[in-house]
């Protein structure tokens, strides 16, 4: 069963109204049912925060049900308009998928300056690959990270 998931994030400021709310959207979670997908996505976004892919606080996760968490403002100045946009795919597919992670700090250790701009480091790509494979229930090497770009909405 393939489903889409959304997890709410909360930073200190950002988005058109300045509330600091944003979200992480993940397309095509492959899980046995909605309950399994909900647990997998909730674990995934907590791991993203723990691995410095976002400094924003994690809020509600939804598939069809919710894993409720408080989304109070974090202690730091977290801008949810600061995003890491990752293009990735399954090793057997051609079509890329997109993962947008809001609230990444511009000084996050998962980012580095390259000729094409600020991008995700090779080490961070390996961490994210493992997190996605765990979320999807895939084997090692089935997730291919194409690129991770740092963007700030204006």
Q: Please report, for the chain, the start and end positions of each structural domain, with discontinuous segments joined by +.
A: 2-152
Categorize the per-residue pLDDT at 117 as very low, low, confident or very high, splitting at 50, 70 and 90: very high
- Phi and psi dihedrals of 127, rounded to 5? -65, -50
Residue 65 has pLDDT above 80, yes or no: no
Rounded Cα distance, 25 and 107, in Å? 23
134 against 70, higher pLDDT: 134
The pLDDT of residue 39 is 93
Tens-place pLDDT, residues 13-46: 887 788 889 999 998 888 888 999 999 999 999 9
Assess contact for 59 and 7: CB atoms under 8 A.
Answer: yes
Q: Are strands 143-152 and 82-90 parallel, antiparallel or unpaired?
A: antiparallel
Categorize the per-residue pLDDT at 4 as very low, low, confident or very high, splitting at 50, 70 and 90: confident
What 3-state DSSP class applies to 77?
A: coil
């Amino acid at each position: 069963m393939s489903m889409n998931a959304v997890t709410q994030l909360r930073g200190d400021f950002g988005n058109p109204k300045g509330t600091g709310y944003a979200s992480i959207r993940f397309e095509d979670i492959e899980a046995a049912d909605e309950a399994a997908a909900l647990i997998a996505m909730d674990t995934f976004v907590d791991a993203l925060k723990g691995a410095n892919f976002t400094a924003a606080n994690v809020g509600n996760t939804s598939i069809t049900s919710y894993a409720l968490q408080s989304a109070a403002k974090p202690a730091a100045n977290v801008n949810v308009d600061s995003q890491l946009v990752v293009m990735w795919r399954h090793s057997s597919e051609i079509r890329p998928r997109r993962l947008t992670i809001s609230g990444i700090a511009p000084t996050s250790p998962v980012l580095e300056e390259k000729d094409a701009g600020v991008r995700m480091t090779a080490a961070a790509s390996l961490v994210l690959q493992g997190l996605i494979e765990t979320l999807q229930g895939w084997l090692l090497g089935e997730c291919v990270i194409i690129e991770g770009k740092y963007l700030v909405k204006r």
